[in-house]
Amino acid sequence: MRIAVIRFPGSDSAEAIAGALQQVSQCYVEEVWAEGSKSVNGFDALILPPGHSYGDHVRPGALAAATPLMAEVQAFADQGGLVIGFGNGAQILCEARLLPGAFLLNASTRFVCQAVSLRVETNTSALTRACNTGEILELSVAHKYGRYYVEPDTLTQLEANDQIVFRYAAGQGEASATGNPNGSTADVAGVANEQGNVLGLIAHPERCVDPALASHDGLKVFESIVAHLQGDGTAGRSVQ
Amino acid sequence: MTYEARVYVTLKEGVLDPEGRVIQERLAAGGRPHVEQVKTGRFYQITVTAASEEEARAEVDAMCRELLAHSVTQTYTFTLDRV
């Protein structure tokens, strides 16, 4: 199993993601430098890490989405390859239009760094196969632009197609100190494309993998990715 | 020929602008209660060379669609002047 973590200028946590994957599997993880690489061929999955790619200029993820390598990522996804983004990686995927919707300035206008309880909305996705639907994962967020926004029609489609992967568990559909930390539409924290092979999660599972910490629920996300890849390799939602 | 575009990117109607809301609230609290709404956005001044104004306009429009404005949340306008 070969997984690439694509590092852009300003990305971080690539090592943490590689470490988490290797904590739950024997997979080979390679860091791919976005500015020097022309191809993403030969990998079973691509992960876009958190951080502040290209300084978050224009909008977080916008300049990374416009790089030539992201055209290769798009082609990889178009062929059914698994592409995952955490934090800024999820923002990049929305900016590249590989995921529906967009991430906006938090409703509070503030940077938030806190623990969050996320509810697994479906356990057929590549991020949640090792979980039960309805299970609560304790993860963390750290962002200023984490307010997920989709138009009402798109939200209806996402719900009908089972594309919402995680929601803020205590959310009431609007920003709150204990539930929805940023004002995301319908408490959405993680989303998939229609085919289920591109997934974004604004939270940071890679920061919750050490048993010494209060939560290591992030491991379940990485176990899910590995379980998905060890399946038949098709999009998560098509494999029950 | 050289052209200068002045691009304005704003949030679409109906998309919450929390920064604008805070500014409006602070203006009102600071003695300007008649300020009903503040909308924030981004301004880009872009200099391009093109064979014609039409070509320059098409080029700037493409940049706006592909990078400067996100079609789900933002809208844009621009002016173009030969310099």
Contact A96, A73 (CB under 8 A): yes
The 10s digit of each residue's pLDDT in A93-144 is 999 999 999 999 999 999 999 999 999 999 999 999 999 999 999 999 999 9
User: How many CA within 13 A on the CB side of residue A144?
Assistant: 11
Helix/strand/coil for A187: helix
The 10s digit of each residue's pLDDT in B44-56 is 999 999 999 999 9
The 10s digit of each residue's pLDDT in A169-196 is 987 767 776 789 999 999 999 999 999 9
Across chain A, mean pLDDT equals: 94
Of B16, B66, B70, the CB nearest to A59: B70
Across chain B, mean pLDDT equals: 97
Contacts of residue A138, Cβ cutoff 8 Å, sequence gap at least 6: A115, A116, A117, A118, A208, A214, A215, A217
Please check the confidence at residue B61 and state whether its pLDDT lies above 80: yes
pLDDT of residue A177: 67
Q: Which of B72, B75, B76 to mutate to test the interface with A (most CBs of A within 10 A)?
A: B72
Percent of chain A with pLDDT over 90: 89
ipTM over 0.90: yes
Please report, for residues A134, B30, B31, the alpha-carbon distance to residue B37 in angstroms, rounded to integers and kept in the order given. 41, 15, 15
Please check the confidence at residue A81 and state whether its pLDDT lies above 90: yes
Please check the confidence at residue A238 and state whether its pLDDT lies above 50: no
Work out the number of other CB atoms within 10 angstroms of the CB of residue B25: 12
Higher per-residue confidence, B12 vs A214: B12
Percent of chain A with pLDDT over 70: 95
User: How many CA within 13 A on the CB side of residue A109?
Assistant: 9
Distance from CA of B20 to the nearest CA of A (A): 10
Long-range contacts of B53-56 (CB under 8 A, 24+ apart): B53/B1, B53/B3, B53/B80, B53/B82, B56/B1, B56/B3, B56/B5, B56/B80
- The span from the first CA to the last CA of chain B, in angstroms, equals 8
pLDDT of residue A96: 98
Of A62, A109, A183, the CB nearest to B19: A109
pLDDT of residue A234: 45
Q: Cβ A102–B73 below 8 Å, yes or no?
A: yes
Q: Region A163-168: what's the mean pLDDT? A: 97
Distance from CA of B31 to the nearest CA of A (A): 23
Task: State whether the Cα torsion B22-B23-B27-B33 is positive or negative.
Answer: negative
CA dist., res. A228 & res. A198, Å (int): 13
Q: pLDDT category, A222, cuts 50, 70, 90?
A: very high
Contact A199, A125 (CB under 8 A): yes
The 10s digit of each residue's pLDDT in B65-75 is 999 999 999 99
Task: State whether the Cα torsion A76-A78-A81-A83 is positive or negative.
Answer: positive
pLDDT of residue A183: 95
CA dist., res. A148 & res. A116, Å (int): 15
Q: pLDDT category, A223, cuts 50, 70, 90?
A: very high
pLDDT of residue A233: 45
Side chain identity at residue B39, one-letter code: K
Q: Does A104 reach chain B within 8 Å, measured CB to CB?
A: yes
Q: pLDDT category, B23, cuts 50, 70, 90?
A: very high
With CA atoms as reference, report the closest residue to A79 among A161, A168, A159, A197: A197
The per-type count for chain A, helices as H runs and strands as E runs, is 6, 11
Contacts of residue A38, Cβ cutoff 8 Å, sequence gap at least 6: A68, A69, A72
With CA atoms as reference, report the closest residue to A23 among A234, A238, A226: A226
Interface of B with A (CB under 8 A): 11, 15-16, 18-19, 22, 42, 66-68, 70, 72-73
Please check the confidence at residue A208 and state whether its pLDDT lies above 80: yes
pLDDT of residue A237: 40
Contact A87, A50 (CB under 8 A): yes
Q: pLDDT category, A16, cuts 50, 70, 90?
A: very high
pLDDT of residue A86: 98
Q: Cβ A106–B72 below 8 Å, yes or no?
A: no
